[in-house]
Amino acid sequence: MAKERMTAAELMARYLEKRGVKHIYGVPGAAILPFYDAIRELTAIESYVVRHEQTGAFMADGYSRATGEVGVCVATSGPGGTNFLTGLYSAWMDSIPMIAITGQQKNSLIGTMQFQEAPIVEMAKPVTKASYRLTDGSKAAEFIHEAWITATTGRRGPVLLDLPVDQQKVEVEVDLDALIASTPANNLPSASDEDIHKTFLLLKEAKRPVLISGGGVNLANATAELKALAEELQIPVVTTGMGMDTFPNDHPLFAGRMGTMLDTPFGNKTVIEADLVINLGGRFADRSTGNVAVFTQNGKKIIHVNIDNKELGKTVPATLGVVSDVKSFMVKLTEAHKSLKAAVAAAVETDVKLDLTEERKKWARKTDYTTLPIRQERALRELREFLDRDAFVSHDCGISQIWSCQLFETYEPRTYLLTGGAGTMGWGLGAAMAAKLAYPERQSVNILGDGSLGMSLQDLATAAKHNIPVIIFCLNNSLLGLIRQQQNWFYGERRISTDLNYINELCDNTDRGIDFVKTAEGMGVRGELITHYDDIKPALQRAVNSGKPYLLEVIVDPDPEKACEFSNNGALNGFTYSSQIDFSKQ
């Protein structure tokens, strides 16, 4: 193709379309109108208007997590851009590639505090992989091209592009196809033969080796390779919170999850008792390892595989640190193991396969409650039983999210959407909507508490306006439950600002505070109040049948002492040994 003449804004819109971008999520304002206009006039990209820019950023992030592609959100200058910051931070903490585009004051006025001028590039820098301003519209081609490459190569992450309104209108000549064809190969670091050999030797010495699967396994689209490696080595797999959906939770080699909150007791036990762990694409976050001295006790050997060398040795010293794309590491190790055919010490006879299914069941937490108000554990169980294996579930932060991480089984990659690093309340609705837009044929549910729904409530209108048939599964205890629990446990029951209930005749007079059903209906989203276990599945069925967004407000037991249990000493050995753990008896 020959060079064509277009404005910088047109160039960016067309570049994104050529890269496969199908949607933008955001709120327009004067300073970004040239770009919006180009999207409308020149592309087939669909624009979703949200009710708060933060939700737009969460949608871009959720789209990326669900698909592995780049999500794009757009806001105007000033408050539009600053409303993106929590979204950028949430994506950055979990290495999610997305592009956030903001309008900006004219170049000549920058630095003079004119209307809606905000130093968004500087503000976003610490929470993005890169943050750029288009100071010269004639360089728009290099600008967008570099941004795309930055977001999508190496350890990926969000990139912010700030576009002064006058620079968006600058005319340039460009051959877009040639520009895209000039993309350099994404050469990821890969484990050396020596790394693989050393890994092999450590495995051979180990009596109780374990694979830890982190979020990087999803980011590298390497879940099939993980399965192949585990099956070849015949050793257990434990996931981190971010790795929840990297290994089928009903696989014979699945041992559970590790962590001080997002854990299963069997997962923690397996890791604590291991003499060798291989961390695949995780970063040893504090919520995963807990007290590092306990985690590394008894001379545990640690192999840490990460694409980013800055992660190695950052929090947990590694016996062997390997800078590698996790997928190529796993492929190489699987091949080496196959060809060497030497038995790993801990592996059972080659024809006997390890099966942890019964052991996993023995350690399962209790979920078959019948008492009312509804227990969160049973509510989540009903939900899991109802949903398809490949359904998306997105989360906010709170007891409901922690229970979900402890109890919810996942089977398919990129289905369990979680802000692992940031723990952002208000995040899940946007993520669930974006996943549903990406895969309309699959179910998409936002599991969240009432406090969290209060932080995304306005965007029920986005689901209604654009008819995005997500299910909002709100576990309402009329509390900021997780924080309330901490006040009870660690602050001598001195509670402050954690009860959200109030009695009001306009809110159903039930002392539950917001009447979410009524509120949702005010925005065009059908809602149902659920107070009995038997109502959960039929209501979910009605939600699916409706083909529309649907809210289930499930009134759950507000007693935080009966709510989620987590490691009581901040370490992985703080779990309770018992066969059917019933924390309500504590």
Ligand X SMILES: Cc1ncc(C[n+]2csc(CCOP(=O)(O)OP(=O)(O)O)c2C)c(N)n1
Query: Rule CB under 6 A: which residues touch ligand X?
Result: 396-400, 423-426, 448-452, 475, 477, 479-483
In the bound state with Mg ion, the residue whose beta carbon lies nearer, of 195 and 557, is 557
The entry of ligand X, Mg ion, none near residue 73 (CB within 5 to 8 angstroms by kind) is none
477 binds Mg ion (CB under 5 A): yes
Binding residue (CB under 5 A) for Mg ion from 26, 56, 259, 481: 481
Beta bridge partners of 71: 98
User: What is the DSSP code string of 122-174?
Assistant: HHHGGGSSEEEE-S-GGGHHHHHHHHHHHHHSSS--EEEEEEEHHHHT-EEEE
How far lies 432's CA from each of 25, 126, 525, in Å? Answer: 13, 26, 15
For the CB of residue 428, give the shortest distance to Mg ion in the complex, in Å: 13
Of 150, 210, 172, 160, whose CA–CA distance to 60 is shortest? 160
Q: Return the number of the residue (86 or 246) whose C-beta is nearest ligand X.
A: 86
Which residues from 94-133 bind Mg ion, rule CB under 5 A? none
The entry of ligand X, Mg ion, none that residue 396 binds, CB within 5 to 8 Å by partner kind: ligand X
Least separation in angstroms between residue 470's CB and ligand X is: 17
**Integer Rg of the chain from CA:** 25
C-alpha 184/C-alpha 186 separation (Å) is 6
| Nearer residue to ligand X within complex by CB, 226 or 261 | 261
Q: How many residues bind Mg ion (CB under 5 A)?
A: 6
Q: How far is the CB of 480 from Mg ion (least distance, A)?
A: 6
Locate tokens 């309340």: which residue? Answer: 425
Nearest Cα to 222, choosing from 306, 319, 143? 306
Q: Which of 75, 479, 554, 556 binds Mg ion (CB under 5 A)?
A: 479
**What does 7 interact with, of ligand X, Mg ion, none (CB < 5 to 8 A by kind)?**
none
CB of 359 vs ligand X, minimal distance in Å? 30
CB of 384 to Mg ion, least distance (A): 20
Going by C-beta distance under 8 Å and a sequence separation of 6 or more, which residues neighbour residue 316?
284, 289, 292, 295, 296, 302, 304
Instruction: Classify the C-alpha dihedral 353-303-240-565 as positive or negative.
Output: positive
Which CB, 425 or 464, lies closer to ligand X?
425
> What would the two tokens of residue 266 be?
């069997």
Q: What are phi and psi of 495, to 5 degrees?
A: -95, 135
The nearer residue to Mg ion, 450 or 459, going by C-beta atoms, is 450
For residue 220, give the 3-state DSSP assignment: coil
CB of 209 to ligand X, least distance (A): 35
Nearer to ligand X among residue 333 and residue 448 (C-beta): 448
Instruction: Residue 423: name its binding partner from Mg ion, ligand X, none (Cβ under 5 to 8 Å by kind).
Output: ligand X
Site string for Mg ion, 436-465 (x = CB under 5 A): -------------xxx--------------
Q: Could you tell me the smallest distance in angstroms from the CB atom of residue 519 to ligand X?
A: 15
CB 68 within 8 A of CB 414: yes
Instruction: Name the token pair of 310.
Output: 């800055």
Residues forming the site for Mg ion (CB under 5 A) = 449-451, 477, 479, 481
